[in-house]
Structure 1
């Protein structure tokens, strides 16, 4: 496990697990959302492909995302390990809601200095709406990728409950 891709639906805990793995294994951790959103107004990084190519060219890394479409194949091609947090909606949705309420109330600065707002909750791109609507499609896409012979050499760890993930992490 030197090049790890932590995947799952929005709110599954990808970033939290990636940071924990980074601390446990001494691998540099990269937050895909921080790479993607790099400025005010949720500005998108025009150099995302080059940035991801550069960081994944290294021998050791962790990335916490399925990956945005423009870098998804690159991430999957370069990873040697996939950790899939395949949690059901009943686990993910309370996490997303708690996180978004906290971020909105505290005005927590996020990627590129952006913040979640109360009016943002009305947008279909808000994390709560996104987590609900993309849960099935995202899970199916990850399942297809995990089953794709092109990625067969990947060491895949699939967890369907947070307790299983915690036990695996503790055993590392």
Structure 2
């Protein structure tokens, strides 16, 4: 199985690494539906979805999906069914810059995330130990272990490790090319 033929795709990475953005772009290029895992987990008021694991099982049972590798309860369920795991293994400084920028922009623009939820006020960075920026820095080193666990849960799972924006652009370019070739009528190629 290659990333170009896969129909069940997981995207892993630290908060702020761009995994949801990449998952959405993969979905747009391939036509595979994207389900944002945070949207399944968080109900209004940041309350956890009591049916989260059940909904993740339903998602994993589908023939086609792209989603993010997050949440301890979801990771083994999704890993067992995924065909490809794309890991955004970016340097800590790159992730820090991205998560800070994203957080500030979302807060200043009042962007709704999921189910009416919005970023916390920026001042909570100093008072909330789980503020998204602090969370990203604290959990950055855990990604390698989570990727290992996913690969151990599914020995057929193929890993694509992206270490830069350039790697990501190359993958998206190849996915686009492959999707174009697949969509062309037999005997024809697009130019």
TM-score interval, smaller chain:
over 0.9
Inter-partner Cα distance in structure 2 for 1:57 and 1:13: 25
Q: Using structure 1 for the length normalisation, give the TM-score.
A: 0.92
Residues 64-96 of structure 1: CA deviation (Å, up to 9, x unaligned): 2x2211121101001111011010111111000
Q: From the two aligned structures, give the one with the greater helix fraction.
A: 1
| Unpaired segments ≥5 residues, structure 1 | none
| Unpaired segments ≥5 residues, structure 2 | 1-5, 176-191
Q: Using structure 2 for the length normalisation, give the TM-score.
A: 0.83
Local SS of the residue matching 2:24:
helix
Query: Rg: which structure is higher?
Result: 2
1:8/1:142 contact within 8 Å kept: no
Offset, 1:121:
2.1
Please tell me the root mean square deviation across aligned C-alpha atoms, in Å. Answer: 1.3
Match of 1:164 among 164, 167, 172: 167
Match of 1:13 among 14, 18, 24: 18
Q: Kindly report which structure 2 residues correspond to 1:11-160, keeping only aligned pairs within 5 A, or say none.
A: 11-40=16-45, 42-64=46-68, 66-116=69-119, 117-122=121-126, 123-137=128-142, 139-145=143-149, 148=152, 150-160=153-163
Instruction: Report the count of equivalent residues.
Output: 168
Inter-partner Cα distance in structure 2 for 1:88 and 1:151: 26
Structure 1 runs, 4 residues or longer, greater than 3 Å off: none
